[in-house]
């Protein structure tokens, strides 16, 4: 569970490399110490025709419409 939370950290610079995660899962390295309070991730979907943009930080809200998702 801890390794999963570590790998899914909202701040990509705080995530482990694959090698680090495997070493912990193989008991070759100690479990990481995660902060007691993780930053909240938020995702913004752009309405532009060129695609979507994703950002992290701020409030954990996302708004989607069928027009934005192409349905």
pLDDT in tens, 11-56: 889 899 999 999 999 999 999 988 888 777 777 777 665 555 555 5
Backbone angles phi, psi at 48, to 5 degrees: -70, 160
Domain residues for 15?
1-35
Count of structural domains within the chain:
2
**């570590």: which residue's tokens?**
6
Q: Are residues 31 and 44 in the same domain?
A: no
Q: Are residues 2 and 29 in the same domain?
A: yes
Q: Are residues 45 and 23 in the same domain?
A: no
Q: Are residues 49 and 22 in the same domain?
A: no
Q: What is the pLDDT of residue 54?
A: 53
Q: Are residues 50 and 64 in the same domain?
A: yes
Could you tell me the pLDDT band of residue 60, with boundaries at 50, 70 and 90? very low
Q: Are residues 5 and 31 in the same domain?
A: yes
Higher per-residue pLDDT: 6 or 69: 6
29 Cβ contact partners less than 8 Å away, ≥ 6 residues apart: 20, 23
Q: Are residues 25 and 5 in the same domain?
A: yes
**């989607």: which residue's tokens?**
64
Global model pTM greater than 0.75 = no
Q: What is the pLDDT of residue 59?
A: 46
């Amino acid at each position: 569970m801890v390794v999963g939370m570590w790998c899914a950290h909202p701040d990509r610079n705080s995530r482990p490399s694959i090698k680090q995660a495997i070493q912990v899962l193989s008991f070759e390295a100690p479990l990481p110490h995660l902060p007691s309070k993780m930053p909240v991730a938020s995702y913004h979907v752009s309405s532009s025709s060129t695609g979507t943009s994703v950002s992290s930080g701020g409030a954990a809200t996302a708004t989607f419409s069928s027009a934005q998702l192409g349905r």
